């Protein structure tokens, strides 16, 4: 079996998961080069990785460069992405910098994998919230033509990085001891035992950059900018796993049964069915989604007022399907379809 | 000043807040009789209350009986409500039992206080989620005629009672120690560091009883059953304060400016304005709403795809405006308007 020289750039919350996913999925790595701003040795699941400094030269001989990226500031892909491509690598960037670039495919393999075909060296991974949303929304759009989506998110703190996870833990410990939480850490307010609808920067219309990403990325991935996407992004005190409460309006009539039939056939989607017999909805939670490859859909139900509307709940691991796993799946698809052409 | 003999029935999470609210608002109590299944002495904010057993006779001489109620099982108001009325009391029930009874006004004083006028002895307090939602929705409906509401909730565990608060605290403490949480207590799954979209019983259509309450109570309070109300109720690991992410469609054009103008004038509503200058939305949180009388609205913003749609975020103390405070405000309005007629 052919092997590929892989680079992972960045070893924060997402970079570490990329190493884990590459290992778990037995990705055919030749050399695996781990890069970051600060050289060091890290240990993931008992495996030791030497981290070298990210430089242009370090990409020589690399076939696939996975940039762990960042949602906020400009990521390493801005500095080194084109360098890596010019040295023969295909870049898969989890950061936000290239997603809306018309020359860059923005891809969820199960939803719009064909967009990878004509890549020009750089491929973008969607925002975690978009990825989790589109795993069910993509197939539903194809089946019923989605006209409007209203989504409210329940986003885990790991989306804000590894330090944010420590911040939540230490705030929660203080709070339980009866202490007043003074240090908000990565957050604009206390996150432990609280909910923040203002965890992202807003524009002059009051829309958060996270909300705008979901709108634009949904349009690009589904190739349809007529879909009205109304998003409210909210940070909740969970560590891993983004939950999303979704309402859709469709052009065609939709029933929960028909929607579930579509979702059961959708690759990567796991439908959790309610059992009204015991009166408790079996329903996926962020906690159960952590470290799982599937995106879980539950509480699929009819709207009480329209036969062209549907409600459901979806959760997925924001670090996996929302980041590291999706990036590795892109790499796998490039190999499988023989689309991993160097563009140097 | 005239004084009234008041009974508080039930001393769980809501009953205790009723005692607190009566004291804080200097309600003109003559005798204050506290009743519960089990006689005992309780202390609230350093004040001691003798709790007597709830019996029919105990309502003799009572002018106003506040039943703390329960969302789940049949509340004490079913057993004793009509008895209390027949002995001359006006009953204000926080439970769910009488809310949809056509003879019973379901009231948020700031929204539909006039419905109190022709009460027949029993008055119902809305569900906590409905109360918090309708504080802004009522005035917006009057101004712009709401056709559709899509709401996703972020509900605090105190809505499930005092024990649920202890459950969250002890689950969180275990989790932080690295222990596996085995005892879910009042919940169908772990609530600490997790989010539960299945915390309420569902019907054979997959709709939760909490969701259905919001639909029906919204129709009754606004006197308009044409409003399409699509609700997803979700429990989050907060102790007090329900957050709600709300999308509305209106018959008339609506702008954030016009909506905020309406909300600024709405009694009991506090509008928190975003300041895009500093890039961070000032935004109300469940934690800051706890123990506050106002319902806080934030992140009022235009929909990106329609001039007849609007998005906002609302939080309110589920035990106060969502329960105890609203009940006491009903009593105050009955007195102020001279509608506190005995119907025995």
B270 catalytic? Reply is: no
Q: Taking CB atoms and an 8 Å limit, are B230 and A247 in contact across chains?
A: yes
**Residues of B with Cβ-Cβ distance to A176 under 8 angstroms:** 169, 172-173, 176
Q: What is the pLDDT of residues A259-274, one digit of tens each?
A: 999 999 999 999 998 7
**Residues of B with Cβ-Cβ distance to A305 under 8 angstroms:** 148, 228-230
Q: What is the pLDDT of residues A37-87, one digit of tens each?
A: 999 999 999 999 999 999 999 999 999 999 998 755 677 889 999 999 999
Q: What is the pLDDT of residues B76-135, one digit of tens each?
A: 889 999 999 999 999 999 999 999 999 999 999 999 999 999 999 999 999 999 999 999
Nearest CA in chain A to B283: A198
Active-site option among A119, A141, A242, A270: A242
**Is 3.40.50.1380 the CATH number for B4-126+323-336?**
no
Q: Taking CB atoms and an 8 Å limit, are B198 and A280 in contact across chains?
A: yes
| Closest partner CB to B301 (pick from A206, A302, A306) | A206
Mean pLDDT of A225-238: 98
Nearest CA in chain A to B151: A152
Q: What is the pLDDT of residue B265?
A: 98
Q: Tokens 């569900």 belong to which residue?
A: B127
Rounded-to-integer distance, Cα A121 and Cα A342, Å? 7
Rounded-to-integer distance, Cα A268 and Cα A180, Å? 43
**Residues of B with Cβ-Cβ distance to A238 under 8 angstroms:** 193-195, 237
Q: Is the pLDDT confidence value at B280 over 70?
A: no
Q: Taking CB atoms and an 8 Å limit, are B243 and A203 in contact across chains?
A: no
Q: Tokens 């929960």 belong to which residue?
A: A256
pTM of the model: 0.96
Q: Which two tokens stand for residue A42?
A: 């890290």
Q: How large is the ipTM?
A: 0.96
Q: Taking CB atoms and an 8 Å limit, are B298 and A198 in contact across chains?
A: yes
B310-324 as b/e: b if 16+ CB within 10 A: bbbbbbbbbbbbbbb
Q: What is the pLDDT of residue A274?
A: 75
Rounded-to-integer distance, Cα B92 and Cα B89, Å? 9
Q: Taking CB atoms and an 8 Å limit, are A286 and B236 in contact across chains?
A: no
In CATH terms, the fold of domain A130-318 is Dihydrodipicolinate Reductase; domain 2 (3.30.360)
Mean pLDDT of A301-311: 98
Q: Where do the domains of chain B lie? A: 4-126+323-336, 130-318
Rounded-to-integer distance, Cα A193 and Cα B141, Å? 32
Q: What is the pLDDT of residues B191-235, one digit of tens each?
A: 999 999 999 999 989 999 999 999 999 999 999 999 999 999 999
Nearest CA in chain B to A282: B198
Distance from CA of B282 to the nearest CA of A (A): 7
Q: Taking CB atoms and an 8 Å limit, are A283 and B196 in contact across chains?
A: yes
**Residues of B with Cβ-Cβ distance to A303 under 8 angstroms:** 228, 230
Question: Do B123 and B116 contact (CB within 8 A), yes or no?
Answer: yes
- DSSP state, residue A147: E
How many alpha carbons lie under 13 Å from residue A160 in its C-beta half-sphere?
25
Q: Is the pLDDT confidence value at B20 over 70?
A: yes
Distance from CA of A156 to the nearest CA of B (A): 9
Q: What is the pLDDT of residue A11?
A: 94
Q: Taking CB atoms and an 8 Å limit, are A197 and B280 in contact across chains?
A: no
Contacts of A125 (CB under 8 A, 6+ apart): A69, A92, A93, A94, A106, A107, A131, A323, A326, A327, A330
Q: Taking CB atoms and an 8 Å limit, are A195 and B152 in contact across chains?
A: no
| Closest partner CB to B285 (pick from A169, A189, A302) | A189
Strand partners, B152: B232, B245
Q: What is the pLDDT of residue A282?
A: 82
**Residues of B with Cβ-Cβ distance to A230 under 8 angstroms:** 247, 303-305, 309, 311
**Residues of A with Cβ-Cβ distance to B152 under 8 angstroms:** 152, 232, 245
B128 catalytic? Reply is: yes
């Amino acid at each position: 079996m052919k092997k590929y020289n892989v680079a992972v750039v960045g070893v924060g919350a997402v970079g570490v998961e990329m190493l884990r996913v590459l290992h778990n999925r037995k990705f055919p790595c030749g050399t695996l080069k781990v890069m970051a701003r600060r050289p060091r040795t890290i240990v993931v699941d008992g495996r030791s990785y030497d981290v070298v400094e990210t430089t242009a030269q370090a990409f020589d001989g690399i076939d696939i460069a996975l940039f762990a990226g960042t949602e906020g500031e400009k990521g390493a892909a801005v500095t080194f992405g084109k360098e890596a491509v010019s040295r023969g690598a295909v870049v898969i960037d989890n950061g936000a910098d290239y997603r809306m670039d018309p020359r860059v495919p923005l891809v969820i393999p199960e939803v719009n994998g064909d967009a990878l075909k004509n890549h020009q060296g750089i491929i973008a991974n969607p925002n975690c919230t978009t990825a989790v949303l589109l795993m069910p929304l993509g197939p539903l759009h194809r089946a019923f033509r989605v006209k409007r989506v209203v989504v409210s998110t329940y986003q885990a703190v790991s989306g804000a990085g590894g330090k944010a996870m420590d911040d939540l833990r230490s705030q929660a410990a203080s709070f339980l001891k009866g202490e007043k939480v003074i240090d908000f850490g990565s957050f604009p307010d206390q996150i432990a035992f609280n909910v923040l609808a203002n965890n992202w920067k807003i524009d002059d219309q009051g829309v958060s950059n996270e909300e705008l990403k979901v709108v634009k990325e949904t349009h690009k991935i589904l190739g349809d900018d007529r879909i009205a996407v109304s998003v409210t992004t909210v940070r909740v005190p969970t560590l891993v796993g983004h939950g999303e409460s979704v309402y859709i309006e469709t052009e065609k009539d939709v029933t929960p049964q028909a929607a579930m039939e579509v979702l059961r056939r959708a690759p990567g989607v796991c439908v959790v069915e309610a059992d009204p017999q015991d009166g408790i909805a079996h329903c996926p939670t962020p906690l159960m989604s952590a470290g799982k490859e599937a995106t879980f859909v539950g509480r699929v139900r009819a709207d009480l007022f329209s036969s062209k509307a549907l409600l459901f709940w979806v959760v997925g691991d924001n670090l996996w399907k929302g980041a590291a796993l999706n990036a590795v799946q892109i790499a796998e698809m490039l190999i499988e379809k023989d689309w991993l052409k160097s563009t140097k």
